[in-house]
A and B are shown apart, each in its own frame.
Chain A
């Protein structure tokens, strides 16, 4: 599996929203896209992807529609809804705040105290 990072709890939903926000994707596509945009650093356990997708669809953050895949098979494509876009913006902002706070905290040197 190479050098992959453990997924932090609660971040999967955010990553799915991000992946879907770029382009409508089917489930397998979401998996590949996350791997791609994370520079192969993040590996999603395949089994937990679909419950997360169904949960997001249930919350009406993403919408599903049947379409045809690149190799001509019927596949379910997910797109971001308006509510999903708003949620992604909030989560991104929240994550950035958290990340920079943690980074600042971890970068503190004895002199800085």
Chain B
């Protein structure tokens, strides 16, 4: 079989050469024979004639030779392709419409598929990535759904969970690299020794970290990514053992990672040991995971997720026996959850992506239906020709293959344009911020996608061919020859098929439009949510202050104080403050706070609250509103006064009937001595913490900066000028104080809010674009079918007009037809939209799944568009002169 293909392929590669060779060979034969005949005494002219006669028809022999060489199907295919191309060229309007439809629909699908494929479908780039899992802690009843595994968890689980082949920890951060004056800030990750072996991909040069390197005394070693090694070490093969300054301290290079190594969405360019103090590893710290630590593990071959989960649960139960906090954690609903790493990492965007793919697919369906209708109309125009050809002996196979060739040619050409559209679409997505999605930077336009495009185009071509082939083969020949010509009536089956497709199209468009409307409305409502502070005219930036050069809180506070004082002297600045985490950063962690005198009722679980450390005029800078008492001032921070501010949600929960002022609370889950308590000095308005779409009022506590225990530093400045214009001044002021401190993540608060909505905005925008295309498609579709109906029935119209029908009656007849189709389509569409709305509830924000106004608007728009598309043909029908209509009787 393979041999034959090879042989055919060889010939096809140089088809013209084959033909030339064959002609030459046959001519040679005839010439030789002629020569022989002449030699035997025949006159040359007679000899030539004899030779040709005895050889037979040259054409027939050549045809038989081609067949013997297995070329016939290819010749036929090429002939049909030429035929199809000629027909398509003859109807440029149809061809352009069809190509644009295919290109747009396939392009939209490719764009979304590229995202779905790179984020959801492709396995993580590690061997047997399906066995990688992550483990996190959850305290649902305390309002903390997710908290990273703690260092203690890691040391307790290492080697003790039989289902795991390896357990590792990692956390992300930044570090300042290089000598003073030429320092650069880099993204880094801190990983435990078995991190690389758990992933199954590790240093290609040098080694992984050792257990000894997980203490703060011995952790000055670094593993470089391939990119960093090439860029900063010139790809030095002797790099192992060389020194590198990290945060001002000498580190030794221990290894280099393979090219392209990347853990999930991490941008880390250097890896350091995940070091911890011995006290962090003890059981007392079991529940202090926090948001920044991640545990990963690899299931042993054959071990299941359920086994691992059961073993973790069993271990937790054993460990809780002697845990003083066990009761409280049990009340909080504590559990450790084992979850597949990949699925867990992309869980937040999975529904939105799948819905986008569904939307794109709906668009493809509309386009395909549209195209089918146009093709059916085209086939109706050729029904006589087809019937005659069948009567003259064209085989059914031939009729079918001709249709398949034509539709596939269309979809393939459209598919190539669609590839270009898809490439553009991916550009658009990256403008929309797709690379900020989890694994978003993996989105690529590659050969795999091109294959999918070609495959999609072929499948679409075959699918389109089915109804057309059915139409061409259906029915008796005689009626085919007569139908849709004079004296014939339109074929009922073909007509109801066309009308059914219009109904389907309208229904799908209504569903798509209403879905887009719901998403848009959700986005609008999310954007309209007041964050609780005044985000306008606020600039924020993060500065990382290394501990080795600012070794204690007073030194750090002194830095804050100087910077904030300098900043407040800048023109236009009305307030400057510092905080260890800005709201809506996506990193807001919750921790426990205990209110003095509050006794938990039976069934009441402990609550996690957002906790912040603030310095300077943070509240004024961010634009908080004061409900009671006072804000924390720079003085509170400098003197580390044991005062705090709570938000109104917190105050309402704990002191519903009295004032919060003067009350005492403790940081952490247990009350300690009075000297450790904080006095509530003020109550501020609640703000949105994790995102604008936060639904729960979890409560927040603001402590003086040095007492919050979190050393991150965000600077927040309120200015009367454009906030971005202050960026350079801020960087310059920091440089004056300490040239080694890099400033990054400079963004206005408005930008942060807009960025925090990327997961809502992109789907809404894409759905909007899809809807617009869908509207265009239904306009084209309805117009096409109605115009055809008018053309087809022009004789009937002519007769009626000649008998005295008024133009309005004719127009009314066609509009009534359009209206019937519209109503049927919209009834289906409304049902579909309702079901879709219910199914996509998780994507909606403050919008009910059945939002009557949205649905009515969607139905209305679809209605108006399709009616307008009908007006033109109906109008033409009404204006038709009876003479003209009857002329071709």
Contacts and interface: CB of A to CB of B under 8 A. Distances in A.
A51 B67 contact: yes
Given A26-B28, A74-B24, A46 B55 contact: yes
B55 A76 contact: no
A93 B867 CA distance: 80
B69 A58 contact: yes
B180 interface: no
In this complex, the member of A47, A48, A54 whose beta carbon has the largest number of chain B beta carbons within 10 angstroms is A54
B823 interface: no
Nearest to B57: A47
A51 B61 contact: yes
A90 interface: no
A48 B29 CA distance: 13
Nearest to B26: A50
Interface centre among B7, B21, B54, B64, by most chain A C-beta atoms within 10 angstroms, is B64
B65 A50 contact: yes
B56 interface: yes
Given A46-B33, A47-B56, A47-B61, A27 B68 contact: no
Given A47-B61, A54-B69, A73 B56 contact: no
Contacts of B35: 71
Contacts of A76: 21, 24-25, 28
Contacts of B26: 50
A28 B29 CA distance: 5
Interface string A7-33: 000000000000000000011100000
Interface string B26-44: 1011011101000000000
Contacts of A28: 28-29, 32-33
Nearest to A51: B64
B13 to A, nearest CB: 15
Nearest to A26: B28
B24 A50 contact: no
A51 B31 CA distance: 19
A55 B32 CA distance: 23
A4 B733 CA distance: 112
Which one of B7, B29, B55, B60 has the greatest number of beta carbons of chain A within 10 Å?
B29
Contacts of B68: 51-52, 54-55, 58
B70 interface: yes
A57 interface: yes
Contacts of A50: 25-26, 29, 61, 64-65
B486 interface: no
B657 interface: no
B90 interface: no
Interface in A42-84: 45-48, 50-52, 54-55, 57-60, 66, 69, 71, 73-76
Contacts of A55: 68-69
A58 B70 CA distance: 8
Interface in B1-31: 3-4, 7-8, 21, 24-26, 28-29, 31
Contacts of A54: 65-66, 68-69
A18 B469 CA distance: 49
Interface residues of A, number: 23
| Chain B residues touching A, majority SS | helix
Contacts of B3: 59-60
B200 to A, nearest CB: 47
A75 B25 CA distance: 6
Given A47-B56, A50-B65, A27 B70 contact: no
Contacts of B54: 46
A76 B64 CA distance: 18
Given A54-B68, A55-B68, A60 B7 contact: yes
Most buried by B among A55, A66, A71: A55
A46 B29 CA distance: 9
Contacts of A26: 25, 28
A58 B29 contact: no
A54 B70 CA distance: 9
B60 to A, nearest CB: 7
B21 A57 contact: no
A75 to B, nearest CB: 5
A27 B55 contact: no
Nearest to B18: A54
Contacts of A58: 4, 7-8, 68-70
A71 B56 CA distance: 24
Contacts of A69: 28, 32
A64 B64 CA distance: 18
Given A28-B28, A51-B61, A46 B67 contact: no
B7, B28, B55: most-surrounded residue (chain A CB, <10 A): B28
A9 B56 CA distance: 20
A75 B3 CA distance: 25
Contact of A27 (B7, B29, B56): B29
Interface centre among B3, B21, B56, B61 (most CB of A within 10 A): B61
A51 B67 CA distance: 8
B322 to A, nearest CB: 81
A60 B31 CA distance: 27
Contacts of B31: 73
A1 B24 CA distance: 27
Nearest to B32: A28
B842 to A, nearest CB: 61
Contacts of B65: 50-51, 54
Contacts of B28: 26-28, 69, 73-76
A28 B3 CA distance: 27
Nearest to A70: B32
A27 B65 CA distance: 13
A71 B55 CA distance: 21
B177 to A, nearest CB: 65
B59 to A, nearest CB: 11
Contacts of A52: 68
Nearest to B58: A47
Nearest to A76: B25
A46 to B, nearest CB: 5
Contacts of B29: 27-28, 46, 50
A46 B56 contact: yes
A76 B17 CA distance: 13
A97 B69 CA distance: 31
B490 to A, nearest CB: 49
A90 to B, nearest CB: 17
A35 B67 CA distance: 26
Contacts of B25: 26-27, 50, 75-76
Nearest to A28: B32
B404 to A, nearest CB: 26
Nearest to B4: A58
A75 B24 CA distance: 8
A58 B29 CA distance: 20
Contacts of B67: 51
Most A CB within 10 A of own CB, among B3, B8, B68, B69: B68
A57 B6 CA distance: 12
Contacts of B56: 45-47
A60 B69 CA distance: 11
Given A58-B8, A60-B3, A73-B31, 13 more contacts: A27-B29, A46-B56, A47-B55, A48-B64, A50-B25, A50-B61, A51-B61, A52-B68, A57-B69, A59-B3, A60-B7, A66-B21, A73-B28
Interface of B: 3-4, 7-8, 21, 24-26, 28-29, 31-33, 35, 54-57, 60-61, 64-70
30 contacts: A26-B28, A27-B28, A28-B33, A46-B54, A47-B55, A47-B56, A47-B60, A47-B61, A48-B64, A50-B25, A50-B26, A50-B29, A51-B64, A51-B65, A51-B68, A54-B65, A54-B66, A54-B69, A55-B68, A57-B7, A58-B68, A58-B69, A60-B3, A66-B21, A69-B32, A71-B35, A73-B28, A75-B28, A76-B24, A76-B28
Interface of A: 26-28, 45-48, 50-52, 54-55, 57-60, 66, 69, 71, 73-76
Which 7 A-B pairs have CB atoms at the shortest separation, nearest pair first? Answer: A47-B56, A51-B64, A55-B68, A54-B68, A28-B32, A54-B65, A51-B68
